[in-house]
A and B are shown apart, each in its own frame.
Chain A
Amino acid sequence: MKKIQYYISALLLVAVAAMSFSSCSEDKLGDTIFPDIDETLDPTSHSYKLDKFLKENYLDKYNLTFLYKMPDISTNMNYNLVPADYNNSVDLAVLCKHLWFDVYDKVAGDDFLKRYGPRIILLVGSPAINATSGSETVGLAEGGIKITLFKVNSMDVSNFTQMNELYFHTMHHEFAHILHQTKTYPTEFNTISVGRYDANNWQYRGNEVTSLGFVTPYGSSEYREDFAETIACFITYTETEWNRLLQLASRGYATSASEDDLDAVYYSYYYYPNNDTEAEISYLDERYVITVVDEDGTIHLYNRNERDKQGNRIVVYEVEDKDGIDGADAILQKVQIARQWFHDAWNVDLDALRQEVQTRQSTYWQDMDSLRQMVYGIQ
C-alpha cells in the first residue's frame, strides 16, 4: 500500500512540476542579446578609404581599433572635447604607422605590438583643458589598452617642432605608459629625483627643471610621468635638441619676475654686470647671448643686443649652478635605467629604436605625400 501511495505521490509531483514548467515555457532566450552587426566596409561610404586602411593596418594586424569618429560618450564628460578633423585623422593614422608601429615592428619584431600594443587609439580634436589648473592634456594612456591623442585639429604637418611635441612625443610617451603598466620598471628610477617632484605646480615650472634632472616640466610632476617623458624625449628629440637639453641641465639658472606681470617668472642662464641700472647685475636668456671664438680658440660670451656706454660689447657670464644637482647626470641615469629595462623586460634595443625613429622623423615631411597615398590611393 505504501508503495502505491509512493507512486501516486510521485506521479502527482511530476504532473504538477510539468505544469509549473509549462507555464513559463514562453520565456525563450535567443542566442545572444547583441545584434548581428555587419562589419563589412561599405565602399560607397564617405570614409571608406580611411576605414579600409585602419582595418587592414591596425585592426586586422594588431587587433587595434583606431577611432577617429569620436563619440563623446566614450570620453570623459567632465571635459569639453570635439571630434578630430577627418583629413588630420588621415595624416595621423599614417604617421602613427610610419613613426610608431612600423618602427617597433622593425626593431622589436612583428609580434611585439601584437602582444603589447594598445587595443584602442582614440583621436580627439581639441585638448582636454583643465579649467581649474589651466593645464592641457595632449595624450592619455588608460589601463594598458587605450591611448588617446588630443589636439588633432591643431595639427600642422609641415611644422616638425609642433608635430614632435604634440604627437610623435605623445605617441611614445603614452606607449611607454602602456609598457610600464604591463611590466613595471625598476623602482631605482624613482629614487634619482626623489623629493623634487611637484604634482600640483609642475605647470608653472619652466626649462629650469632640466637643471633638477627632468627632461620636461611635466616629467617633474611624478615618477611615472618622468619615466614616460624620459623615454619619449630620448626617442623623439633630435640630436641637437637632446644635446641642448643636457647642456641646459648642467647649467645654473636664476629667476626673475616681470615688472608687467608679477605672476610671470623668467628663467635665465646668464648674467652680466649692469652699471646702467640700480641692480648690479642683469639676467638674460641664452637667446640674447652671442658666442665669439678668438683666433686662439678662446670662447667669449657677449650680450647680443646691447653694448656699454663706450659702445663695447658687454661680457656675459654663466649663472652659477647652486642647486647641488647634476641635472645632466640625473637625466642620463634615468635613460640608462630605461635602456636596461627595455632590454631586460622587452628585449628591445632602445638606442636602435631611437635611431629608427630619428631616421624616419627626419624625412617624414618629404614622405608625406606617399604616406597619404596609403589612404587616398585605396580603390
Chain B
Amino acid sequence: MKKFFNISLLTIVALSTLSLSSCKNEIDDIFDEDAVTRLEKAKAEYTNILTDKGGKWQLEYYANDEEPGYIYLMTFAKDGSVTIAGHNKWINYIKTGSVTTASSYGSEVSMWEVIADNGPVLSFNTYNKYFHIFADPYDIPSVGGATSDDDVNEDGYGHEGDYEFDIMKYVESAEGDTLFLTGKKYNLNMIMTRVGVNQPVDDEVYMNEVVAMADSFFNAKVPQVYINLPNGVRWIVKNGATSILKMFREGADEISTAETHNVIITHDGLSFMDPLTIDGYTIQNFTRQADGSLLCRDDHETTMTADPLAVVFDNRNLIWRADFKDVGGRFAELVAQLTNELKAYNKSTLQYAQIEYDRATEVYKLSFNIKKSTVKYNPTYFFTMEQVNENQVKFNVAAEGDKMGETYATKCPAIRAIVDELGSTTINLTANSLLAPVNMKTSVNGNDYIVWNLQ
C-alpha cells in the first residue's frame, strides 16, 4: 500500500511538472489582437488620417543626403487619388528639358495606398512625373548639359529617391498633425505636416509662397549669413542659395573646417535634413520671424541673421544698381528733371546709375549710364561711405566728378542734384529681406528714396 502511494505521489508530481512545463512558454499577450488584424486596422487608421480634414499635407522630401530637400503639397482623396504639387528645378527640367537654377510649378494626379509590409507603408503606386522623377533610374543631367565636366553618369541610379514610406509615427497636435516617415528603400527620414485645416489652401499659391520664402532667405549675390549660437559664437553660412549650406565657425579656417549640410525651405522657415550639433548646440528647425530673421524652434535661442544693412551696403565687393523705376519724393522729381535735361542737351536717355567701390582710388563711384543712340556715357561722381549705425550710412561726396561728370553737371544740373541729395544727410537703409537684402532702399527722409538692386 505504501508502495502504491509512493508511485501515485510520484506520478502526480511528474504529471504536475509536465503540466506546468506545457505552459512554461505562455506569456501574457502584449496585444489584444493578432499582428495581421492590427496591421489591417493600422492601414485603415492611416488611410483615414491621411484623408481627414481636407487631406492636404506638406511633405518635406529628401531624395538623398547630397541634394536639397523639396516641399511637395499632397492632397489625399478617399477615391485613392492624390494630387501632388511642387515647385522646383526638376519640375522645370520636365517642362523645359534643361536643368538650370530656375524653378517651375507643377501639379499632377496619381494614386496612393497604405499597404502592409512590416508595418503600414504609404505607397505612391502609380507614376506621378513631378514626384517620381526622384526615383527614375535615369542619368541626372547636370547644369551645363551632358558635356559638362562635372557630369556623372547616374544611369541605373538616378536620384535614388523613395516613393514608398514606412509610417513610423503620427502626432496629432494643435500646432499641426504630423506624420513621421522613413523611405522604404533608402531609409531617409521625412516629415509630413497637415495643412489647410483652418482655411483652404491653393496649391500653386502655397508653393509660390515657399519659393518666395526661399528667396527671402538666401540669394547667390549675398555672400554669407550667420548662425548665432546662444554662447555668442557665430558660424558663417555660405552657398545658401543652393540649399546645401557650407558652414564653418567664425575665425576658423574655411578650407579645412567647413562642413556642408543640406536643408529644405518650408512654408514657414527652414530645416536641416538631420539635427546637427555645433559648439554643443543641437539645431535643426528654424522659423521665419517677423523681422525676416530665422529662430531655431528646437532651442528657441539660436538665430540665423545676415550682416546689418549698413555693412552689406558698405561691402566693397558688391555692386548696386538703380534703374530709377522705383524712386520716390525728391528723387523722383530730380530723375524726371534729369530725363528732360538729357533730352534737351543731346537727346540722350538715362539708363541706370551704379554704385561700386574703386580699389585703385579707394573711394566709391556713382556712375550714371546714359545712352545716346548706340553710344553710352558714364558721368561719374565720387564719395566715401561711413556706417552711422546698423541701418544708416552717410555719403561724403567729393566736390568734383570725373571730366564727363563735370560736363553733365554743367549741362544737366539735376544729375549733380541727385548726387548732392544723396550726400546731404544720413541715409536710412531698408531692404526687401533681412537675410537676402538684394533690393536696398536708400531714404534721406521718409519719402525721398531710391531702390538699388544688388548685381
Contact = CB atoms under 8 A, between A and B. Distances in A.
Interface string A1-31: 1000100110011001101100110010010
B125 A83 contact: yes
B12 A86 contact: no
A33 B23 CA distance: 22
Contacts of A125: 127, 132
Interface in A29-76: 30, 33-35, 37, 42, 44-47, 68-73
A79 interface: yes
Contacts of A34: 36
Contacts of B8: 5, 8-9, 12
B32 to A, nearest CB: 13
A127 B137 CA distance: 8
Interface in A117-133: 125-132
Interface string A123-152: 001111111101000000000000000000
B185 interface: yes
B145 interface: no
B78 to A, nearest CB: 8
A80 B162 CA distance: 9
Contacts of A132: 156
A70 B15 CA distance: 56
B127 A84 contact: yes
A9 B7 contact: yes
Contact of A23 (B19, B117, B160): B19
**Majority SS at the chain A contact face:** loop
B80 A46 contact: yes
A358 interface: no
A361 interface: no
A1 B160 CA distance: 84
A71 B125 contact: yes
A47 B121 CA distance: 20
Given A80-B158, A125-B127, A72 B11 contact: no
A337 interface: no
Contact of B135 (A9, A24, A69, A80): A80
A47 B111 CA distance: 8
A220 interface: no
Which bracket fits the contact residues of A?
Answer: 35 or more
A73 B136 CA distance: 16
Contacts of A89: 126
B127 A153 contact: yes
B164 interface: yes
Given A81-B137, A86-B126, A73 B156 contact: no
B79 A44 contact: yes
Interface in B103-117: 109-111, 113, 115, 117
A24 B22 CA distance: 8
B140 to A, nearest CB: 12
Given A46-B80, A73-B117, A73-B184, A83 B127 contact: yes
A82 interface: yes
B90 to A, nearest CB: 14
Most-contacted residue by chain A among B23, B78, B81, B156 (CB, 10 A): B156
A73 B111 contact: no
Contact of A134 (B79, B132, B155): B155
Nearest to A80: B137
Interface string B178-215: 00000011000000000000000000000000000000
A101 to B, nearest CB: 23
B156 A80 contact: yes
B31 interface: no
A356 interface: no
A131 B34 contact: no
A35 B184 contact: no
A20 B26 CA distance: 13
Interface of B: 1, 4, 7-8, 11-12, 15-16, 18-20, 22-23, 26, 34, 36-37, 40, 77-81, 109-111, 113, 115, 117, 121, 123-127, 129, 132, 135-138, 155-158, 160, 163-164, 184-185
Q: For the complex of A and B, list the 6 residue pairs with the smallest distance between their C-beta atoms, beginning with the closest.
A: A131-B156, A20-B19, A16-B15, A46-B81, A69-B125, A80-B137
23 contacts: A1-B1, A9-B8, A12-B15, A13-B11, A13-B15, A16-B12, A16-B15, A20-B22, A46-B79, A46-B80, A69-B113, A72-B184, A73-B121, A73-B184, A80-B135, A80-B157, A82-B137, A83-B124, A84-B127, A85-B126, A132-B156, A153-B127, A153-B129
